[in-house]
Amino acid sequence: MKRREFIALLGGAAAARPLTAWAQKGERLRRIGVLFAISESDPEAKIRTSAIEQGLERLGWSVGRNIQIDYRWAGNEADRLRRYASELMALKPDVGLAAATTPLVALKKEAGSTPIVFVQVYDPVGGGFVASLARPGGNVTGFATFEYGLAAKWLELLRQLAPRTTRVAVVYDAISPSSPALFREVEATAAPLGIAISNYPVRNSGEIERALQGFARQPDGGLIVISGPTTAAHREVLTVLAAQHRLPSVYSYRYFVTSGGLASYGIDNHDLYTRATSYIDRILKGDKAGDLPVQQATKFELVINLKTAKALGLEIPLSLLARTDEVIE
């Protein structure tokens, strides 16, 4: 079991002050524009901004001394995402950071020639953001999450946790461009196992509630939740409903499990955001975004909530516990 200590956000007040008030004499402040799909009040916001600022600090960039970071939080609102992308590019940043696919779509549209580093994007080539992983070209590069094949592991994990599962609901964000491909991967894995798969693209908490209520009317069901702006924003709704309907559930990120979900297998977000600062550093020092190869996530974590497992009457195999990176009790 591991414990993380979170530090307070650095430079929170800096975003509201003029650049000239913070620059040290003779040193030019470089500007970074960061666009998030999540809301500022989301607990993940603090984790990700801390990772960004700590990573930059280690590379010699300090908020208020030689960099200014402008954050915008869309709070899962498409109109706000577009508006904030325009606002950030109007500030003429030296580099933009797109936190996930939908912010990347919005920033790329407004960026012109401004270099953009992305984080948490599933398929940057298929999405048309870069020409290739090795040679992105243009003004966009970054850190992809993982191959679509990882979705198959979510179903395998669910079967290990709840072997009697014969039906699985896959809930995902209706506007996320990567979710349909991930669903198809789960579906293809389920077919030879004789598992029935139902897909539920959702846009709000009401659609989530109706989907799970309808699905849970039949026995031996399980749940896979693909992360996106909507499912991430309503993760407490998802975990509460999963518990209420006694649905064993697997998620793509740790933060669903800390909110009460059963288990997750996916990337370490903190690690990916920290790594992204290396590209911001290189671009600020003169490298071109298009010359920097897209990198894949390298650090994955399996997290299991034993309290939730107990409430569902599940006995977690010792072989699975031995491979678990974090156990929540």
Show the beta-strand stretches assigned E in the chain. 30-36, 67-73, 95-99, 116-121, 140-144, 167-173, 196-202, 221-225, 249-251, 263-267, 295-296, 300-305, 326-328
Average pLDDT of the segment spanning 150-169: 95
Q: Which domain holds residue 27?
A: 14-144+268-298
Q: Does some domain include residue 29? A: yes
pLDDT interval class at 123 (50, 70, 90): confident
Return the SS3 of 250. strand
- For residues 101 and 201, state if they share a domain: no
Q: What is the DSSP letter of 7?
A: P
In a domain, 1, yes or no: no
Mean pLDDT of the region 254-270 = 94
Given a cut of 80, is residue 22 above it in pLDDT?
no
Considering the domain architecture, whether residues 157 and 171 belong to the same structural domain is answered as: yes
Residue range 178-193, pLDDT digits in tens: 888 899 999 999 999 9
48 and 192 in a single domain? The answer is no
> What integer best gives the mean pLDDT of the chain?
90
Question: Is there a single domain that holds both residue 28 and residue 136?
Answer: yes
Radius of gyration of the chain measured on its C-alpha atoms: 20
pLDDT band at 46 (very low <50, low <70, confident <90, very high): very high
What distance lies between CA 228 and its chain's CA centroid?
7
Q: Is a pLDDT exceeding 70 seen at residue 107?
A: yes
Q: For 3-12, 86-95, 205-214, which range has the lowest pLDDT when averaged over its residues?
A: 3-12
Q: Is 211 exposed, middle or buried (0-12, 13-18, 19+ CB in 10 A)?
A: buried
pTM, to two decimals: 0.85
| Phi-psi group of 11: left, alpha or beta (phi > 0 → left; psi -120 to 50 → alpha; rest → beta) | left
> Does residue 273 share a domain with residue 239?
no
CA atoms within 13 A on the CB side of 31: 15
Residue 9 lies in a domain: no
Residues 172 and 190 placed together within one structural domain of the fold: yes
pLDDT at 143 over 90: yes
4, with CB counted inside 10 A (0-12, 13-18, 19+), is exposed
Same domain, 178 and 315: yes
Q: DSSP letter for 23, please.
A: P
Quick one: DSSP state of residue 14? G
Whether residue 75 is predicted with pLDDT greater than 80 in this model: the reply is: yes
142 Rama class: left (phi>0) / alpha (psi -120 to 50) / beta: left
pLDDT at 1 over 90: no
Q: Extract the tokens encoding 298.
A: 């390298």
Residues 218, 71 within the same domain? no
CATH code for the domain in which residue 118 is found? 3.40.50.2300
Confidence of residue 176 (pLDDT cuts 50, 70, 90): confident
CB 68 within 8 A of CB 29: yes
pLDDT value, residue 265: 96
Specify the 3-state DSSP secondary structure of 202: strand
Is pLDDT above 50 for 17?
Answer: no
Of 304 and 149, more confident: 304
**Chain segment 216-232, per-residue pLDDT in tens:** 999 999 999 998 889 99
* Residues 162, 123 share a domain: no
Structural domain total, the chain: 2
